[in-house]
Structure 1
Amino acid sequence: MSNMITVGISDLNVAKNGDVLVTYALGSCIGICLYDSVRKVAGLSHIMLPSSVGFHPTGNQIYKFADLAIPILVDKMKAMGAKQICLRAKIAGGAQMFAAVNNSGLANIGQRNIIAVRQELQKLNIPILVEDTGKNYGRTQYFDSADGTMRIKSVNRGEWVY
């Protein structure tokens, strides 16, 4: 029987053997799912901010930033046997949750997160297979280590599978 492994906000984790990673409350945040389909190693990172530039994160605070968390997730997956060349990505989130604020930095943080995640994955030569990003609603993201399936649930919008 598979285990459900919760990845909190500004957190990351890895799984295999059919365990399922889940993260809640993806509004402007991004959930980055990485998968090695040969070794069946899955990883999920829930980032809040695009860049650590100007910050001095310590401890688990480093998981908050796309530029720091994604390379750490890759390293943790490699420690479980994944090969970076085999990694593929599926991402979700990056919503504009604060439409009333117009185009302020707070309003467009979702879009800035999307751009930063794309750039970081490109730097690491990890192709993005699926994006469920933008719009104006939150998501819950499930990622199955058995087959790399990403499932998205959203209140009042339903559920879909990638």
Structure 2
Amino acid sequence: MINNQKQTVKIGIGELNVVKSPVVIQTSGLGSCVGVVLYDDTVKVAGMAHIMLSKPSKITDPKASKGKYASVAIPELIRRLTYLGVSKTSLKAKIAGGAHMFPNAASNELAKIGKHNVEAVKQQFLSYSIPIISEDVGGSNGRSIIFDPQTANLTVKTVQSGIKVI
């Protein structure tokens, strides 16, 4: 478990940030959104994004947060982490979220946002040759996550499944 005495940086929907240990980083309300963690466990640095969609549309607001889209958030996290001295080749990833929140709308492509978000995130990691160490994706339950760069543990909380560490 995470030590409650540690300073915590909270990431809102569509946001991203980076932290150094002993600070932990967290986000809540991951339904179809995907929580992405990029980290280097040797230097104890991590970044997190709360990704809402796979990529911007043609009519996207240019002022949209860099954490909103997988195609923008992951390169931005990499940029920020390398600025802190992390080597791209030492980055690892953990992901959670991408739930199917509207099971009664199974035939509607819009209802598959979670699945599309997970696929987009994995494609980004593949393009940067970043391994996904663990994941807790899909299902029909929302999640909250906390990542501790000191231990490289991602704590996933769901109403149905409780707490697990991946």
Give the TM-score range, shorter chain.
over 0.9
- The aligned amino acid for 2:41 is S
Is 1:5 aligned with 2:9?
yes
- Which residue matches 1:149? 153
Alignment: residue pair count: 162
Contact 2:66 2:76 in 1 (8 A): no
Q: How does 1:104-115 map to 2 (within 5 A)?
A: 104-115=108-119
For residue 76 of structure 2, give the secondary structure of its aligned residue in structure 1. Answer: helix
Please report how far the alpha carbon of residue 81 of structure 1 lies from its aligned counterpart in structure 2 after TM superposition: 1.8
Per-residue CA deviations over 1:104-128 (Å, capped at 9, x if unaligned) read 1221000000100000011111010
Deviates more, 1:103-112 or 1:67-76: 103-112
Percent identity, aligned pairs only? 39
Closer/same/farther in 2, CA of residues 43 and 62 from structure 1, 3 Å limit:
closer
Q: How does 1:7-156 map to 2 (within 5 A)?
A: 7-156=11-160
Closer/same/farther in 2, CA of residues 148 and 55 from structure 1, 3 Å limit:
farther
**Unaligned stretches of 5+ in structure 2?**
none
**Unaligned stretches of 5+ in structure 1?**
none
Please report how far the alpha carbon of residue 142 of structure 1 lies from its aligned counterpart in structure 2 after TM superposition: 0.4
Contact 2:34 2:51 in 1 (8 A): yes
Contact 2:27 2:35 in 1 (8 A): yes
Contact 2:141 2:160 in 1 (8 A): no
TM-score (norm 1): 0.95
- Which residue matches 1:158? 162
Please report how far the alpha carbon of residue 35 of structure 1 lies from its aligned counterpart in structure 2 after TM superposition: 0.9
Please report how far the alpha carbon of residue 59 of structure 1 lies from its aligned counterpart in structure 2 after TM superposition: 3.0
Contact 1:35 1:87 in 2 (8 A): yes
Please report how far the alpha carbon of residue 86 of structure 1 lies from its aligned counterpart in structure 2 after TM superposition: 0.2
In structure 1, C-alpha distance between the alignment counterparts of 2:133 and 2:26, rounded to whole Å: 19
For residue 65 of structure 2, give the secondary structure of its aligned residue in structure 1. Answer: helix
Closer/same/farther in 2, CA of residues 9 and 60 from structure 1, 3 Å limit:
same
Please report how far the alpha carbon of residue 60 of structure 1 lies from its aligned counterpart in structure 2 after TM superposition: 4.1
Contact 1:2 1:17 in 2 (8 A): no
Per-residue CA deviations over 1:5-35 (Å, capped at 9, x if unaligned) read 1000000011112111000000000000111
Deviates more, 1:57-66 or 1:115-124: 57-66
Contact 2:21 2:148 in 1 (8 A): no
